Chains A and B, each alone.
Chain A
Amino acid sequence: MWDFVVDRREQLLINAWNHAYLVILAVLFATVIAVVLAVVVTRLPKVEPVANAVSAAGLTIPSFALIGLLLPVTGLGDVTALVAVTFYAVLPILRNAIVGLQGVEPGLVESARGMGMSEPMTLLRIKLPLAWPVILSGIRVSLQMSMGVAAIAAYVLGPGLGAWIFQGLTQVGGKNAVNYALSATIGIVLLALILDLALLLVGRLTTSKGVRV
C-alpha cells in the first residue's frame, strides 16, 4: 500500500486538500446560518421546539436521500456537495447555538440593556461571546461529522477523498480496490484530527479568558 500511496501522492494530496476545503467552507457557512437561525429562534419562543425537532430529525435523513433530492435542483457537482455537507453541518451547531444563547444569564442581558446597549449591540457584545464556547463545541462536532458526509458527497462528483472510496467500492476484488478505499479513509481520519486541532486553537484565540473552561 505504501507504494500505492507514494505513486499517487500528488493526486492524494489534491484530494485531501479539496476534501478539507469543502468541509471548512461548509462548516463556515453552516456556522453563520446556524447562529442566525438560533438568534431568530431564541427570540420567538414558539418556534424553538420546532427548531429543536428539526435539528434532531434532520440528522436522521440519510445523506444519499438528501443528495438524491438535491440532484434535480443543483445538478451533479461541487455545489450539490457543498449544499449537502452544509445542511448536515448546520444541525449540531444550531442545537448548541440555541442552548448557548438560552444559557446566557437573563440578569446580564438586562444589565446590558439597562446600561443603554442597543439590542444588536447586546447580541454581538454580550450574548454571542458568552454563548461562544458552547457554539464552538457544536462546531467541533459538526466538523467531525462533515468529514464523513463530505466523503459520501463525493458520490455526486464533488471534490475530495470520497472519490477514492467509491472507486475502491466499485472495483471490489480489483487489484487496488482496498488500497484506494483504505488510503482515502486514513486520509480522512488524519485530516479530521488536524482540523480539530486547528479548531481548538481558533477556539482558544476567540474565547475570552474570563469564560474559558
Chain B
Amino acid sequence: MTTMESTDKQQHTVSGAEITLDGVSKIYRGQQAPAVDNISLTVPAGEIVMFVGPSGCGKTTTLKMINRLIEPTSGTISIGGENIRAKKVDELRRTIGYVIQGGSLFPHMSVAKNISIVPKLLGWNTSRVKDRVDELLDLVGLDAAKYRDRYPRELSGGQQQRVGVARGLAADPPVILMDEPFGAVDPITRQRLQDELLSIQRELHKTIVCVTHDIDEAIKLGDRVLILQEGAHVAQYDTPEVVLSSPANDFAQDFVGAGSSLKRLSLARIADLELKTPTTAKVGDSTAQVRSRAEANGDGSVIVLDDRNRPLGWPWLRQLTGEKIVQPSGDLINLDSRATLNDALDTMLVSGHGGAVVTGDRDAYLGVIDFKTVTDFIEEMQREAETETKAAPAAGSDEHPASRISIAPTDEELDGGREG
C-alpha cells in the first residue's frame, strides 16, 4: 500500500549507530531454560526498532544486554561495529541513552541536575551543560525557564517522562534504549509522548531500541517491529506494514491479533493527508483585524500561535474579546504530523471543532486536519482494499469486529487488505 508510506521520511544525516547481536543467549543463574536463547539481530543505524512480545519473553533482558546491565552468557553484541566489551562498562553506558518507565528521575535532584548527569560525567563545562539542558527541555516541549529548577515530584507523570527522555538524549548518544517508556501514563498523554518521540527522531535520527508490550505502539513508532516469543525467539522482524499484512507465523498472527486490518489505519499518518489552513492569529495581533480576516475566510474560529509559531489555542470568534489577541486559556491538544489516523480520530472526538491542530518539528503549526478528510481517506482505503481482495483473495479473516473507533468501517468491511 503505497498510500500508507509516510511522506516525511526524508534523508537526514543519521547520528545513530548500528547495533548487532550475534548468537546472544542469557541463562539466569539457577535457571534451566535460557531467558534469551541465541538471538541474532541487526538494528540499522538511525532507525527505531520496537521489541514487542508477551510478558516474560525476554525483551527487557535483551535490551539490558546492550548496555551491559545484564551480561550475556554467550554471544557478542557490537555497536557501530565495535564490540561493547571493548570499552569500560561505565564509558560504554555514557554513550547509550537509557530511558525507563516513568522516567525514573532522581527525586532529590532538580530537573536540570537530572538531565545534566551524563554531560557532567563526560566532563562538559558548566555553560555548555546549562545550554544543553535548556535546549533539551525545549526539544521535549517543556518551558526551560519554568521547569529547569523544579523537582520531579513537582511534575506531572507525563512531564516526568519527558524529562526522562531529555535525560536519555542529554549527551547526544548515538544509541538510545527505552524500556516501556510510556507505560505509566494515561492514553492521551501517551499518544502525545509518542508523537513527540517521532518528532524528535525526525530531527535527530538516533538508533532507538524500544521495548513495549503494546502492538499498537510498536506499529506506530517502529521503523521495524521485532515480535518475540518465549526465550526471545524471533517470531518476525520486519516493517510494520509487512508485520500487519503478512504475519510470518501463527504466533505473530495471534500477537498482532484481531482487527489487524483496522490496525492498518494506524499505519496511515496524518502527514499522508491534506491539511486545511484556517485563519491564524499571533498573540498581540489586533482582534478587529483577525476577526475580519476570519470572516473573509468564512471561519468561525481562529488558531492562535505564539512567537515561535506554536499553536496555543483554538478560540471561537465570539471568545475573542479585548483589543489584542491574548493567550487563550485551556490546553490545546494538538497532533504531530507523524501521528496516526487512530490518534487523529481520538483527538478530534474530544476537540469540539470536528478537527485537530497538526504540528511538525518543535511543535510548529502546520495546519488542521478535519473529520471529513479522515473519513474520506478511510473510505478510499476501503475501496483500495476491496480491489486488492478481488485481485488476491484474503489469507484469513478476523472474527472480531471490535475496534476502538466507533465511526470507522467494521472489520468485515475493511478486511481483505491483507496481501495473500
Contact = CB atoms under 8 A, between A and B. Distances in A.
A117 B90 contact: yes
B106 A108 contact: yes
A111 B100 contact: yes
Contact of B100 (A110, A117, A118, A209): A110
B48 to A, nearest CB: 19
A114 B67 CA distance: 7
Interface stretch (B91-99, B127-135, B229-237): B91-99
A129 interface: yes
A30 B69 CA distance: 35
A111 B98 contact: yes
A210 B98 contact: no
A130 interface: yes
Contacts of A130: 106-108
The size bracket of the interface on A is 10 to 19
B15 interface: no
Interface of B: 64, 67, 69, 90-94, 96, 98, 100-102, 104, 106-110, 117-118, 121, 151-153, 167, 177
Given A117-B121, A209-B151, A111 B91 contact: no
Contacts of A110: 69, 100, 104
Contacts of B109: 208, 210
Q: Which of A107, A116, A211 has the most chain B CB atoms closer than 10 A to its own CB?
A: A116
Interface of A: 107-108, 110-118, 126, 129-130, 208-211
Contacts of B91: 116
Nearest to B122: A116
Contacts of B69: 110, 113-114
Contacts of A113: 69, 93
A107 B106 CA distance: 10
Given A115-B93, A117-B90, 13 more contacts: A107-B104, A108-B107, A110-B69, A112-B106, A113-B69, A114-B69, A115-B117, A116-B91, A116-B94, A116-B118, A117-B117, A130-B106, A208-B107
A-B pairs with lowest CB-CB distance, top 7: A210-B151, A208-B108, A116-B93, A116-B94, A114-B98, A111-B104, A116-B90
A126 B117 CA distance: 11
30 contacts: A107-B101, A108-B106, A108-B107, A110-B69, A110-B104, A113-B69, A113-B93, A114-B64, A114-B93, A114-B98, A114-B177, A115-B94, A115-B98, A115-B118, A116-B90, A116-B91, A116-B92, A117-B117, A117-B121, A126-B106, A129-B108, A130-B107, A130-B108, A208-B108, A210-B107, A210-B108, A210-B109, A210-B110, A210-B152, A210-B153
A126 B105 CA distance: 11
A129 B106 CA distance: 10
A118 B94 CA distance: 11
Contacts of A116: 90-94, 118, 121
